[in-house]
Each structure stands twice: as structure tokens, then as C-alpha cells.
Amino acid sequence: MDYTVQEILQFVEENDVKFVRLAFCDMFGSLKNIAIMAGELPRAFADGISFDASAVEGFMNVEESDLFLFPDPSTMAILPWRPQQGRVLRFYCDIRHPDGRTFDGDGRALLRRAVADLEQAGYRCQIGAECEFYLFETDEHQNPTGTPHDRAGYFDTAPMDRGENIRREICLTMEEMGLRPESSHHEQGPGQNEVDFAYTGALTAADNLVTFKSLVRVLAAQNGLYASFMPKPLKKHSGSGLHVNMSLQKDGQNIFVPAGQGHSPQAESFIAGILDRIAEITLFCNPLTNSYRRLGAFEAPKYISWSHQNRSQLIRIPAAQGEKARMELRSPDPSCNPYVVFALLIWAGLEGIVQQKPLGAPLDLNTYSADKAALSGVQPLPDSLGRALQLAQQSDFVREHLPARMIRQMVDAKRRSWEGCTSAEDRDRYERDRYFYYI
């Protein structure tokens, strides 16, 4: 919701707000924040709040360490899990240099630019995410264990599904913060859950996803549990995906609504653009070595293909009508930076529309059980972080749209991860130590 600065300052005064969290994501999508006293909020709006950007991986060096956080008034939210006396307000922030220039590692600014490019072409993008995660038991010191919260499966109910109450708490807390959950359920894996979001604009969708991951972790901890968004925390069970549902509006009409027997040419070209660039941007959609353990099993895609309804495909067109008509991209996982991923997807789809890229025939088969002959000629997704790194570095598309600093920092960090994992004596231990406790 849009608020004026004066309205916000009045709200702070009338609602016993004592602390203000200024939040942002680092280059890899991890949430960071600084808390200021409520009396400092006018200064934050006017001049920004400085922080040591050299201490944030991928941001600045020691010689040029100052960056400033400017709160975005439209992102104001009370943190419901904090005390009601001396309340805590949170904003997502724009990141700027001391001279006022936008910091080129600011994912929100990047996504704003992509949205603006799309709107200049006459389209508005709506995104609804479906985010999966696991709940694990904790020990007597509240440290996470590898024991799932329950042994339930897909769509199971209580008492097998022990996540029913916490999902209820998650959805109610989301609503308190202005997010719109559509549905929630137990997923395939033991202790695995999913919450689906209502459609919003792309920037709000990314903000909401970051908020969601934060509140899930907090509420899990308050219930004596640990929430993990690691793509593949359990080797023999379903991985956690971040399914990205996208639709486009032109002149107020959803162009994914079938016209006659087919889709609009623009919708098909948008899908074709994403299919054409997905291999090059997989590094950003699936940024961990562990991400590639998920792909190719338990309804996670392996090939660059599309179809209607088919959950083995990279892109599926759900059986939905009217404003729910859309495409669903099934490869990303929750460890990604949603601002960067949504921006790249928008630019790839827009390129498809501008260049009128043709959409190939659907692959109407189960890619998990199909024989090699049926899949001959179908390009696979990158099968490792190393391969994804190679494709991203070679990509003119990535270089065109992402700042050089962002590409350099991402590539350097992920190369270290890839080399560390491939040289580790115990890859499972390496990934658990590096990802399980932090993703």
C-alpha cells in the first residue's frame, strides 16, 4: 500500500512504535537489516542510514565501504511476532551510494528496471510464487537436527500431518503483514510443507517471498522447530522448489487466456523467450551445489521443455481459466535471490515478445519415465553448479542485463562453492555444513 512519509510518521506516533528495521537483501538473497530507533525515521527518509557495505559479501571494499539505506514507504509492515508494547516496524530499502547513485548490487532496483522495461512495451507482469520448505525437530539446545517434524506425505491430514497448526499460524501472520496466502498443504516429503501466494506485481512478489521466508523461520523457532529452505535437505525425499507462476496483462487483459484453441502469440513468445534463456540464467535460479540434486526427480524438471498440466516439464500451462491463466516455471528453488531471478525472467520473456520467438511443440510425455529415444534432441538443464557457471559466464544476455559487479561477485562466490564441493572428501557433509544451517 502507498503511504506518504507524513502518514507513516503519524502511524509511528499513534501505535507505540519504538524500533524500525531497515531491511535489504545481499547479492545472494539473504535478508539483512539494521534496527534504528523510531525517532531516527525522519532522517532515514531524508538522508538515508549508512552502513558498512564492506562487511556484506559481494557489496563494497574497505576503501569505499559506505552505502545508505532509504526506506521504501510502500513496504511498511509491523512485525507481529515482536512485542505489542514498543512495537517494531519494518521497511525494505533502496540502497544508494553517498552521492545518491543507485547501488548496482541492489536487487530491488534491478527488478524495478525490468518491470519498467516491460511496462514501456505495454505489459504488466503478475507473479504468484509457490514455496516449499521442510520443518525439522530441534535438540535441547534449540539446534536443528536432521529429524523431520513428521512422516506425512502429500496432502495428508492430522494427526499424520503435524504441520497443520504452524501452517495456520504462518498464513495468519502473512495476512497480518499484508501478504495474501492462497493455500497451504503438506508436501510429498516428511516434514515438507508448501504455501502458495496470490498474484501481485513482480516487486511486491519478491518482497513478499523474502518476508515469508523470514516469518517461517521465526515462527518455526517459536514452535521449537527449524525451517529449512535448502533445495535438497533429504537425499531420498522430495526437494523444495520455488515454482514461479507468471501472467501478463496488456490493456487490462490477461494475454495467457486462451483465444479459441490456442494461446495468444505474445504469450507463446514470452514462454519461448524464457525457454531460450533458461540455461544461461540457471546459475541464478539454482545457485547452490545442492540445487542440482533436486532437479530431475520428484516432479522437479530435468529438460528444457513445456507442456500443458504436465508436472515433469520445466514450464507447464496449468488447467486454469480467466485471470488464473498463466505459465508455471518449475526449476527455481528457494535459495535464489527472487529479485534477480524475477528480473531475468521478465527480460527473457520480453526478449521473446520483441523478437517474436516461436514456441516449439509441447513435450507431452513423462520425462522421468520416457526412454532416451523419445528425449533425443531435447536440451537438458545444467546438471551441476559448474555447468551453470560456465553458461552464465558465456551469456551475452546475462552481461546485457546484470551489472558487471553483480556478475563478477556471483561467479566468484559460486566458483568457490563448486570447487569446495568437488574437492570435499564428503560432499554430503560439505553441503550440510554450508547450507542446512543457513538456507
Question: What integer pLDDT is reported at residue 258 of this predicted model?
Answer: 74
Sorting pLDDT into bands at 50, 70 and 90, what band is 1? low
Q: Which residue from 31, 26, 110 is spatially nearest to 345, judged by alpha carbons?
A: 110
**Distances in whole angstroms, Cα of residue 118 to Cα of each of 124, 129, 202:** 7, 19, 11
Architecture, CATH, for domain 113-436: 2-Layer Sandwich (3.30)
Q: In angstroms, rounded to a whole number, what is the distance separating the alpha carbons of residues 340 and 281?
A: 10
> How confident is the model over 27-83, as pLDDT tens digits?
999 999 999 999 999 999 999 999 999 999 888 776 678 999 999 999 999 999 999
C-alpha cell, 98:
553517498
Question: What integer pLDDT is reported at residue 259 of this predicted model?
Answer: 67
- The answer to whether 76 touches 83, Cβ cutoff 8 Å, is no
Q: What pTM value is reported for the model? A: 0.96
Q: In angstroms, rounded to a whole number, what is the distance separating the alpha carbons of residues 47 and 5?
A: 13
Return phi, psi of residue 228, to 5°: -120, 130
> How confident is the model over 116-174, as pLDDT tens digits?
999 999 999 999 999 999 999 999 999 999 999 999 999 999 999 999 999 999 999 99
Q: Which residue from 76, 130, 86 is spatially nearest to 240, judged by alpha carbons?
A: 130
Question: What integer pLDDT is reported at residue 367 of this predicted model?
Answer: 84
Domain boundaries, the chain: 5-102, 113-436
Question: What integer pLDDT is reported at residue 364 of this predicted model?
Answer: 86
Report whether pLDDT(184) > 60: yes
Q: Which residue from 209, 159, 182, 167 is spatially nearest to 31, judged by alpha carbons?
A: 209
Which residue matches cell numbers 520425462? 367
Report whether pLDDT(396) > 70: yes
Where do the H-state alpha helices sit in 89-140?
107-120
> How confident is the model over 256-298, as pLDDT tens digits?
987 665 678 999 999 999 999 999 999 999 999 999 999 998 9
Q: In the chain, what percentage of residues exceed pLDDT 70?
A: 98
Query: Per CATH, which fold does 5-102 belong to?
Result: Ubiquitin-like (UB roll) (3.10.20)
Q: In angstroms, rounded to a whole number, what is the distance separating the alpha carbons of residues 367 and 312?
A: 6
- The answer to whether 335 touches 291, Cβ cutoff 8 Å, is yes
| Least confident range of 199-208, 312-321, 386-395 | 312-321
| Residue 246, helix vs strand vs coil | strand
- The answer to whether 103 touches 158, Cβ cutoff 8 Å, is no
